[in-house]
Amino acid sequence: MKELKIPFFTVLFILVGIFVYTKLAGPIPFSINSTTTTKANLFSTQGTGKATDVPDTALLSFGVTKTAPNVLTAQEQVNTTSNKITSDLKNLGIDEKNIKTTNYSVYPNLDYSNGRQNITGYTVSQNLEVKIKPIDKANKAIDIATSDGANMVGGITFILNDEAKKKLENKAREEAIKNAKEKAESLASLSGIRLGKIIDVQESGGIQPHPIMIESRPIGDVNQEKSTEINPGESTISITVTLSYKTF
């Protein structure tokens, strides 16, 4: 086959013609097919589910504070009391790994009389958190701590272990989803909306432990012989689920 050759002057003439046309008439028009997408209509409903169980673990917070003329004496007094409490709690059956220090502070006691700042002594404080399981040991642990010299008892919180908490969450979640689906189907039927598939799920909520405030009894108190009695009650997990449907 003979190759077709276009003369040079012909090509040059075409290029010059295009250049002149774009200068006088503007750009050469092109036709482009475009597709515009829009966000699908959404229909959202919420459902709440709750599940309740008896907690099996207690978190006890208490501390020891001592004041003395010098830091070393105050520290020795705090250490002696804290070690006594720790030893007796271990004898109760509480693992040492579940007894931890959450705060240790040392600060001077200042006297501003006579227009001068004078240090009159030092106060040392140590705070402990004790994780207690089984929970029926909590009352006895409080009695041991206060009788051994704990003079700062912040409170006790009853919680669920991780496995029990996960089961309770799943139960509450299942109820929340069921509630949200039933609500969506009812509203859609009444309003004439056709529901498609679920395209988004959001969750909020969880367990909210309620701390119980308790007061320590000073040594020598007339009620010192009375034992602590605290009821853990129940822990409730509440979960809210939002389901978003595509509609037609």
CATH number at residue 63: 3.30.70.2970
Q: Which of 132, 159, 186 is the last residue before a domain boundary?
A: 159
- Are 133 and 166 in the same domain? no
**What one-letter code names the amino acid at 12?**
L
Asked, for residue 121, whether it belongs to a domain, the answer is yes
Name residues whose C-beta falls within 8 Å of residue 208's C-beta, 6 or more positions apart in sequence. Answer: 236, 238
- Are 45 and 132 in the same domain? no
Asked, for residue 24, whether it belongs to a domain, the answer is no
- Are 168 and 78 in the same domain? no
pLDDT of 1 > 90? The answer is: no
Name the domain count of the chain. Answer: 2
Tokens, residue 187: 């509203």
Of the ranges 113-127, 133-147, 206-220, which one carries the lowest mean pLDDT score?
A: 206-220
CA distance 16 to 117: 97
Q: Count Cβ neighbours within 10 Å for each residue of 104-126 and write b for 16 or more, e otherwise.
A: eeeeeeeeeeeeeeeeeebbbbb
CATH of the domain at 245: 3.30.110.170
CA distance 238 to 215: 30
- Are 153 and 185 in the same domain? no
pLDDT of 98 > 70? The answer is: yes
Asked, for residue 133, whether it belongs to a domain, the answer is yes
Q: Which of 129, 159, 189 is the last residue before a domain boundary?
A: 159
The predicted structure's pLDDT at residue 100 = 95
Tokens, residue 196: 């498609």
Domain assignment of residue 189, given as a range:
39-56+160-214+232-248
Asked, for residue 30, whether it belongs to a domain, the answer is no
Asked, for residue 22, whether it belongs to a domain, the answer is no
- Are 184 and 237 in the same domain? yes
Q: Which of 126, 141, 159 is the last residue before a domain boundary?
A: 159
- Which residue is it, tokens 């290029």? 15
Kindly report, residue by residue over 18-39, the tens digit of the pLDDT: 665 555 555 545 443 333 333 4
- Which residue is it, tokens 């299942």? 174
Closest by CA position to 242, among listed 48, 51, 17, 18: 48
- Are 78 and 128 in the same domain? yes
Tell me the three state secondary structure of residue 139.
Answer: helix
Determine contact, residues 41/244, Cβ cutoff 8 Å: no
pTM for this structure?
0.63
Name residues whose C-beta falls within 8 Å of residue 92's C-beta, 6 or more positions apart in sequence. Answer: 137, 140, 141, 144
Q: Cβ–Cβ contacts within 10 Å for residue 245, how many?
A: 23
The predicted structure's pLDDT at residue 232 = 76
Asked, for residue 4, whether it belongs to a domain, the answer is no
The predicted structure's pLDDT at residue 235 = 85
CA distance 79 to 66: 10
Asked, for residue 123, whether it belongs to a domain, the answer is yes
**240 or 152, which is more confident:** 240
- Are 119 and 201 in the same domain? no
pLDDT of 87 > 50? The answer is: yes
- Are 122 and 187 in the same domain? no
Angle at 64 between CA 61 and CA 66, to 5 degrees: 160
Asked, for residue 179, whether it belongs to a domain, the answer is yes
Q: Average pLDDT, whole number, for the chain?
A: 82
